[in-house]
């Protein structure tokens, strides 16, 4: 089976709208958070909710990017938007070195 088709099928099954793995910086935080507003074309929510979600996503990405300069695993940051029955989920994260 083609890798692209497998990835697309997995994203559809899990209702993933957007997935990014890489360095999150102040420069790419706005474009990454814009993806939460565009979504899959079916991502239609009221303007107030959309703005609130955008600000939440932007703040989450800024939190991720604040650790990037101090982290040797910066290229493994993760951003995921998914659709749920009653709304949407936003997942962000960093890999951190083990505490000494």
* pTM for the predicted model, two decimal places: 0.69
Contact 42, 86 (CB under 8 A): no
Res 1 pLDDT > 70 = no
DSSP state, residue 97: P
Segments making up each domain of the chain, as ranges: 23-83
Q: Is 35 helix (H, G, I), strand (E, B) or coil?
A: helix
> What's the confidence (pLDDT) of residue 52?
79
Q: What sections of the chain are H helices per DSSP? A: 3-14, 26-38, 47-68
pLDDT digits (tens, 9 = 90+) for 39-96: 545 445 555 667 777 788 888 888 888 776 666 778 888 888 888 888 778 888 888 7
Contact 82, 67 (CB under 8 A): no
The structure tokens 């604040």 sit at 66
């Amino acid at each position: 089976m083609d890798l692209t088709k497998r990835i697309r099928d997995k994203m559809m099954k899990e209702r993933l709208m957007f997935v990014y793995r890489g360095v999150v910086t102040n420069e790419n935080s706005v474009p990454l958070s814009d993806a939460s507003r565009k979504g899959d074309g079916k991502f239609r929510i009221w303007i107030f909710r959309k703005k609130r979600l955008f600000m939440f996503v932007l703040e989450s990405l800024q939190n991720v990017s604040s650790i990037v300069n101090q982290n040797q695993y910066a290229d493994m940051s993760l951003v995921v938007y998914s659709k749920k029955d009653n709304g949407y989920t936003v997942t962000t994260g960093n890999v951190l070195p083990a505490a000494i």
